[in-house]
Amino acid sequence: MKNNKIKIYGIALVVSLFTFLIYSHSQQKYYLDKDKFIDWVQFNTNGILVICGFFITILTFVITLQNNQLAERNRKNQDIVKIKVLLRKEIERYIKTIDYVANLYSYNVVMSGADTIIYIDIEKIHTFDDKVKEALYDLMRLDDSSEVSAIYDIFVDSLDKKYIFKKMDEAISQFGKVHFLEELVYTYLSSERKDIYNHIGLKKGQQDFAQILEELKDDEFEKIINPRINNIIRYLDEKNMCK
């Protein structure tokens, strides 16, 4: 794009100089008839210098403007990358703690008697700092892609500590911690994990199911999450969004 603009300005300069020389030639007889050859030479020199100076000024302005735009895009890219690294780290930590609590609860349910009350350590689920919510709003300002909107739709409530604690208290008071944990599992985790944490695996027997839960702990993060969250993670792993 930049090279094409330079070519266009070069062609315009050549055309302008050619047009001026044609006009200068038409004025040659006037100057020579009045014995003003030096004036005619000076007229040509000044005309050429003015035309060249004009195009050089315009070209310098265009190049400076493009360089400033490139620098601004680079700064914007750097800001986006920093925010995405922060969100990626915080979201992964948040979902991993949900998976950990769900896994621990399922294990305790399987290994305990039917009448045993199982404690769910909801407090182990990671909560976001206020800076994470501010970072998300900054990302929305810098990038209007659908992935950013998806992050907002899925995580905006979780990013608000007061809201999530209020929702947690309401869910626990009405339905118990199990219901609240099930909501988190359904929202963020893979279908395989949902099935396992819903104790479908109980049919395999107590020890076998305990082994399945233990093996789940070694899964990579991409296997923990559902496709919708996976799309968000892929976006957060991308670099250089501005073009």
- Average pLDDT along the chain: 76
CA distance linking residue 153 with residue 148, whole number of Å: 9
Mean pLDDT within 200-224 = 75
Residues 229-240 pLDDT 10s: 999 999 999 875
Mean pLDDT within 195-211 = 67
Unique residue bearing structure tokens 């050089």: 56
Mean pLDDT within 53-80 = 81
Nearest to 198 by CA among 81, 59, 209, 207: 209
Residues 109-163 pLDDT 10s: 777 765 566 667 777 888 787 788 889 889 999 988 888 888 888 887 676 655 6
> What 3-state class would DSSP assign to 189?
strand
The pLDDT of residue 108: 80
CA distance linking residue 105 with residue 95, whole number of Å: 15
CA distance linking residue 93 with residue 101, whole number of Å: 12
The pLDDT of residue 201: 45
Contact 110, 206 (CB under 8 A): yes
The pLDDT of residue 7: 65
* pTM to 2 decimal places: 0.68
Residue 38 has pLDDT above 80, yes or no: no
* Distance, CA of 19 to chain centre: 51
Position 52 confidence tier, pLDDT thresholds 50, 70, 90: confident
Residue 22 has pLDDT above 80, yes or no: no
Residue 188 has pLDDT above 80, yes or no: yes
